[in-house]
Amino acid sequence: MLEENILPQTPSPHSSTKRKTSLVSVLLTIALTIAFVIFGERLLHDVNRWFNPASQQYGFAPQTALEILIPTAHAQELIARIADEYPTTTTSIKSDYSRQSYETYRLLLHAAVIIPVFLLMFLVYYYFRFKRTGSPYKILSYAYMAFAFYMILRLLAELCVFVIKNLKTAGVYIVLGIVIVVFTTLIVIIQKKLHSKDGAE
């Protein structure tokens, strides 16, 4: 007959640190991510509309894939219609801005919004991932980080289209270089923190 182990059983580290996440929380996190994406798209659209000096001339076209297919047709049609109805108020609309100027301003404005947002969201994720590892609210950081990566990938795609269109061959190398630098830096930061954490344990 086997002897019964009467020594007190210590809980395993995994059982004591097990996190409880409900299905509802996961679904709400996905919904939060979608809400973030819609908010980000609307914010970029309005920032470009408010602060881009060439938006009156070229900003009427939809900010989607349709703009690539028909970049200025809708804008020029609208300008012509306004010129016929209000001939004295279209001087500012018929500006000297080129299509490239409009795209440059738009890219800079989008970068001015996306880069700070990405860094802020990354800090939120970093805080919950390494500073508050046992927090029950850590699941929120995944929505923030998903939104951050969506925004930065959107900016990189926009930059890729802009650079390739205007700088041709050199643009490919510039865009790839930027992508490599950004993601290499983030990987180094995360891995360095993970290794320092393992060493401390």
Indicate the residue type of 15. S
**Burial (0-12, 13-18, 19+ Cβ within 10 Å), 135:** middle
Structural domain contains residue 80? no
Structural domain contains residue 74? no
The range of the structural domain enclosing residue 173 comes to 23-54+97-200
Structural domain contains residue 121? yes
Q: What are phi and psi of 128, to 5 degrees?
A: -75, -30
Cα angle at 132 between 130 and 135, to 5 degrees? 135
Structural domain contains residue 72? no
Question: How far, CA to CA in Å, does 177 sit from each of 112, 118, 157, 160?
Answer: 20, 19, 13, 11
Find the mean pLDDT for residues 136-140.
Answer: 83
Residue for token digits 């659209």?
45
Structural domain contains residue 120? yes
Structural domain contains residue 181? yes
pTM for the whole structure: 0.60
Structural domain contains residue 65? no
Number of structural domains (the chain) is 1
Q: How far is CA 122 from the centre of its chain?
A: 11
- The more confident residue out of 139 and 3 is 139
Find the mean pLDDT for residues 25-51.
Answer: 92
- The more confident residue out of 173 and 46 is 46
Helix spans in 18-86 (H): 23-51, 55-58, 65-69, 73-85
Helix spans in 86-168 (H): 99-126, 139-167
In this prediction, residue 165 has a pLDDT band, given cuts at 50, 70 and 90, of: confident
